[in-house]
Amino acid sequence: MLELIVLVLGGALVAEGLFYALFPGAARQMLAMVEQMNPQTLRVAGVVSLAIGVGLFYVARTWLAG
C-alpha cells in the first residue's frame, strides 16, 4: 500500500512539474486566476478534485489491481 501511495504522489509531482516546465506562462495566468477566485469556489473545486482523485484511487486498487 505504501508503495502505491509513493507512486501516486510521484506521478502527481511529475505531472505538475511537466505543466510548469512546458507551459510557464499558462501556469502564471492560472495562478493569477486562482488568486482572484472566491474562496468558496476554490473550496468546491478542491473538494471535487479530491473526490475524483479518491475515485480514481479506488478504481485502481479494486478493478485494475487484479
pLDDT in tens, 14-56: 999 999 999 999 999 999 999 999 999 999 999 999 999 889 8
Domain carrying residue 21: 2-64
Question: So what's the pLDDT on residue 8?
Answer: 84
Q: What is the distance, to the nearest Å, from the Cα of residue 38 to the centroid of all Cα atoms in its chain?
A: 20
pTM of structure: 0.68
Cα–Cα distances in angstroms (integers) from residue 56 to residues 31, 33, 37, 52, 62, in the given order: 25, 27, 26, 6, 10
Question: What pLDDT is recorded for position 66?
Answer: 64
d(CA 25, CA 45): 22
Backbone angles phi, psi at 38, to 5 degrees: -65, 135
Q: How many domains does the chain have?
A: 1
* 17-35 burial code (b ≥16 CB/10 A, e <16): eeeeeeeeeeeeeeeeeee
